[in-house]
Amino acid sequence: MKNIKKMISIFGMTAALIAGSTMGAGMSGSMGTVQAASERMAENNGSAMWHEIAKKSAPAPDKTPALNKTAAVLIKGQTLQLKLSGTSAKTTWSSSDQSVASVNTAGKVTAKKKGTATVTAKSGGKKYTCKITVETPKLNKTSITVVEGKTYKLKLSGTTQTVKWSSSDRAVARVSGTGKVRGIKAGECTVTAQVGKKKYSCHVVVTEGTPEKLTEDKPEQESKEKPVQETGEKPTGETEQIPTEQEVYAAISAMQSEYPEGMAWTNENFYFWKGGVYSGGAGCAGFAFAMSDAAFGALPVRVHTDYSKIRVGDILRVNDDTHSVIVLEVTDTEVVVAEGNYNNSVHWGRRIGRDELPGEGNYIMTRYPE
């Protein structure tokens, strides 16, 4: 401090002398006055200069350590780089469940399987955590067939993240922001559901023609009264013997010789059936009615939606009430069906998961009594 005062005193004296010489002979005063002035400058400015020097030389305060993420949702297989900033101390990384989300020595997290895990960064005796949630989304269909002008709802389950839908050819099929696919014209394309960088695809086939439909309005849901035909009379087969499911399967299977795999079958094919409610049907409905009559004769049909009671020979309306199939086999997880107008032909043996059967407008027609 003394040295600083001395420097300022000398500077002040010099400034005063220069000023005095500029003012010339008319200047009055003495060297004592100059000395006093310079000392006052040293007193006033010395502390200010010292404060500036001290401020510039003081080290910057440390920042509070923090993770770049405290929570994250990942899809199985995705990675996330965690970083702990605000510290120069060594950092060690760990996961509460390496089977769900692993982390390496550099803080890189890898999603392993569905579940939650906590990733911890330890530095300077303190811990900093990030909750990792791992999801495993699943698309309800990997391939579908849609008639021109009709729709099918795709669903990506198992994720809370935003799903982005797209079509590889919007001239063939378009998809809404909620996954509803609409057939535009005959052809094939791919509809994709994307979550982050992960993609899930469904192959879409659009067929020509107007949507297959029955010749009557869709029947109401199951009621206590048996359906009646257009004449108002009850179906004549009401007293016929009820076949067993084994007999039904044998009767329908025997029809393969008349309706072989790949045989052309479109909306141009119509069948009048004996079950009642409808007088007949075209395309897929007509095929199902023909197979049903072969097994049940003139037994009356009833309509219901109890999917726990599906039996061999039942006709299922599927794909949001756009397609009909007849059941050949039933297991705990799926049904095996036969169908017409499947890519414009007859097809035997397709398997459909039981969880795929319920849908908007879907129902079951059975000819077994309650």
Residues near 337 by Cβ (< 8 Å), separated by ≥ 6?
A: 316, 325, 326, 327, 328, 349, 350, 351, 352
- φ/ψ of 304, rounded to 5, equals -155, 175
For residue 57, name the pLDDT band (cuts at 50, 70, 90).
low
CA–CA distance, 71 with 368 (Å, rounded to integer): 55
Q: Return the ∠ at Cα 178 (arms to 362 and 341), rounded to 5°.
A: 40
Residue 131: which of 159, 111, 158, 105 has the closest Cα?
111
CA–CA distance, 154 with 369 (Å, rounded to integer): 35
pLDDT tens across 149-158, in order? Answer: 888 999 999 9
pLDDT tens across 232-289, in order? Answer: 334 444 456 889 999 999 999 999 999 999 999 998 898 888 888 788 888 999 999 9
Task: Give residue 211's pLDDT.
Answer: 41
pLDDT tens across 323-335, in order? Answer: 999 999 999 999 9
Whether the Cβ atoms of residue 346 and residue 337 lie closer than 8 Å to each other: no
Determine the length of the chain.
Answer: 370
Residues near 57 by Cβ (< 8 Å), separated by ≥ 6?
A: none
Burial class (CB in 10 A: 0-12, 13-18, 19+), 265: buried
Query: Quick check: pTM over 0.85?
Result: no
Q: At what angle do helices 31-57 and 2-23 cross, to 10 degrees?
A: 130
Whether the Cβ atoms of residue 93 and residue 103 lie closer than 8 Å to each other: yes
Whether the Cβ atoms of residue 362 and residue 284 lie closer than 8 Å to each other: no
- Chain centroid to Cα 206, Å, comes to 23
Task: Give residue 216's pLDDT.
Answer: 37
Question: Looking at this protein, which amino acid is placed at residue 365?
Answer: M
Q: Tell me the sheet residues that pair with 205.
A: 145, 188
CA–CA distance, 147 with 323 (Å, rounded to integer): 9
Q: What is the DSSP letter of 215?
A: S
Least confident residue range of 57-71, 80-94, 160-174, 339-353:
57-71
